[in-house]
Every structure is written in C-alpha cells, then in structure tokens.
Amino acid sequence: MPVLCSSCVDKRAVLKRPKTGHSLCKDCFFWAFEEEVHQTIVAAELFKHGETVGIAASGGKDSTVLAHVMKLLNERYNYGLTLMLLSVDEGITGYRDDSLETVKRNQQQYELPLKIVSYEELYGWTMDAIVRQVGLKNNCTFCGVFRRQALDRGAIMLKVDKICTGHNADDVAETVLMNVLRGDIARLRAVPPSPQPARATGSSRAASRLKYAYEKEIVLYAYFKKLDYFSTECIYSPKYRGYARTFLKDLESVRPSSIMDVIHSGENLSVRADVKMPTQGTCARCGYISSQPLCKSCVLLEGLNRGLPKLGIGKHHRLHDKILSQQPLTESEERRLKALSF
C-alpha cells in the first residue's frame, strides 16, 4: 500500500527524510528543504539587504544546490542580495577542468556572474605539479590552505561582502570530529563557522548555508529537481577525512541523529578561560590573516619554491624569522625538510 505524504496527507510519499523520519512527497520535500535553509539564514542574521554575496561554486552537488536555493530564496523572500558565483581552479587535470564546465553551465542556467581564480595564477603552481613534488600523503594540506585563501582573494576581486559555501551537515560533523581527534581547540571553536567580521584581506566568510542539510537530502533534492552537477570525486581525495567519514557513516547507521549530535556538540563547546588561544594577526609577507609571522599559505609556497615541501607540514614556526630575513637554512634543516620520506 502506498505511503502518503505526512505533511499534505494527499500525495504519495517519494522519500523518508533521514533527519526527521517524515515521509514526504516531492513538493513538500522541496518546501521543507528550502524553508530550513531560509530559517538558518534568518536565525543567524547572515545577510543584510543590499549586500553582495559570492557563492563558492565547484560544480558539485552541494554548491549547485546552494546556488539554486540561494537564488530561489533571494527572490522568494526579497533578501535584496546581489549573487555571484566564485570558482577556484586548482589545476587538477581530468577533474577540475571537467567540473568547471558544469559551473559555466550553471552560470547560464542561473544567470549569475562568474569569476574563476586559479592556483597557477595566484601561486604559480597547480595541484598536479604540487603532487608531483610532495606525493599523495600531505597534498590535501596544500590544497585546503590554498583554496581558502584563493576564495578570499577572489572575493576581493569581485568586491563581495560575504562568501557562501556549500558544506553540508556531514562535512561539518566530519570537521568537528577531525579537530577533536587532532586536539585542535582553535579550530573546534570555529566549527561550525559563523559570520565573521571583515578579514585582513577585506573579505568576510559566511557559514555554510547547508550546514544542517544531510548529504543524502542534498542528493535527493538535486535528483528530483534535475539539477546539472558534476559527480566525480577528486582524484587526490583526502585520506584522513575519509576515515572520519567512514566512522560517522557507521555511527549514523546505528543512530541517525549522530551527525546533528556532533554538530551541536561543536556549536556548544566551551573552552576554559585559562586555555591559551592563538592571537589573530596578519602575515608579514602577504597581509593575509595569520596567527604566526607568516601565514600557512606563504610557508607552504616557500617550501615548494625552495624544494623543501615539508616546511609547511608540522610546526616549524621558529624558521619563520629566517624565511622573512631570507637567511639560508642550515644543512640539517634542509635535509629534514626535503621530501625523502613524504
């Protein structure tokens, strides 16, 4: 016997929501999904009327759904926002070049301006070239650091007030868990991210608008809406995050609320007053936000350019003064920072 939608009690249900357990028809699911994103925006007062918002667009399901929903809600509730698409080309052959074709189609479908910034343009390196030098063990460290800064630099070029990212609930829960396992208190306090004042670079990062949306529901929304998105996983996919993802999926199979429970734990985390936290400053070289004399991006780049890729992996803060003053490293320091056992 067909199951009726638990909301309208009229149409046949096409799915059971993983988050609530409600059986919904397509129309009721669309409305519920969109309203939850709207309530997230309104509750956190994320945007002000007249602001320009850059949507981080990769061509994947999350950013495609985000662009679609943000355009729809902006018109439905008269947010008064000017929306733009911002993409980062990491230089990954057979992956990013294909996904950017999807982004270009999205630009035409949603009639939004698009800006693409590339690692090669900003740093003089592509991820393909970086992987050739550092291998696959720590490549995601380089990519994650460079991408965050690339988004902010792209935001400056577009003169946007905020950047909107498509990280979903699964992504946020994985990040909370990874930071717990690393004992990274500073990042734990910032997850899930909330709107921040303007950075040293002049831009501001807004929290993900999909942070309470399960990955399963995003896939279903994109499927039923027949959205155009790129579904191939990065050929340099992260290993450490993969372990956290597998662990969370196992937990979710036993306790469906596990993902939300982890996120709420991250939101409600409190840190003792006597715990020393990093002091936010700016990079002496590029002016980007940093708690050290040099930002992580500049240290990683210095290591790549000098053939010492381990320079940005781990804690080598005592070498920052040497780098800034262009002093040569000792023979033992260079030997330790080369990619012999990368």
Residue 256's identity, in one-letter code, is P
What Rg do the C-alpha atoms of the chain give, in angstroms? 21
The CB density around residue 118, as the number of other CB atoms within 10 Å, is 17
The pair of three-digit structure tokens given for residue 261, joined into one six-digit string = 């429970």
Q: Which residues contact 20 (CB under 8 A, 6 or more apart)?
A: none
Task: Compute the residue count for the chain.
Answer: 342
Annotated binding site for ATP: 56-58, 62, 88, 166, 171
Inter-axis angle of helices 240-254 and 169-182, nearest 10: 110
* 53, 161 Cβ separation under 8 angstroms: yes
Q: Which residues contact 196 (CB under 8 A, 6 or more apart)?
A: 204, 205
Annotated binding site: 56-58, 62, 88, 166, 171
* 51, 162 Cβ separation under 8 angstroms: yes
DSSP assignments along 259-322, one per residue: HHHHHHHHHT----TTS--PPPEE-TTT--EESSSS-HHHHHHHHHHTT-GGGGSS--GGGHHH
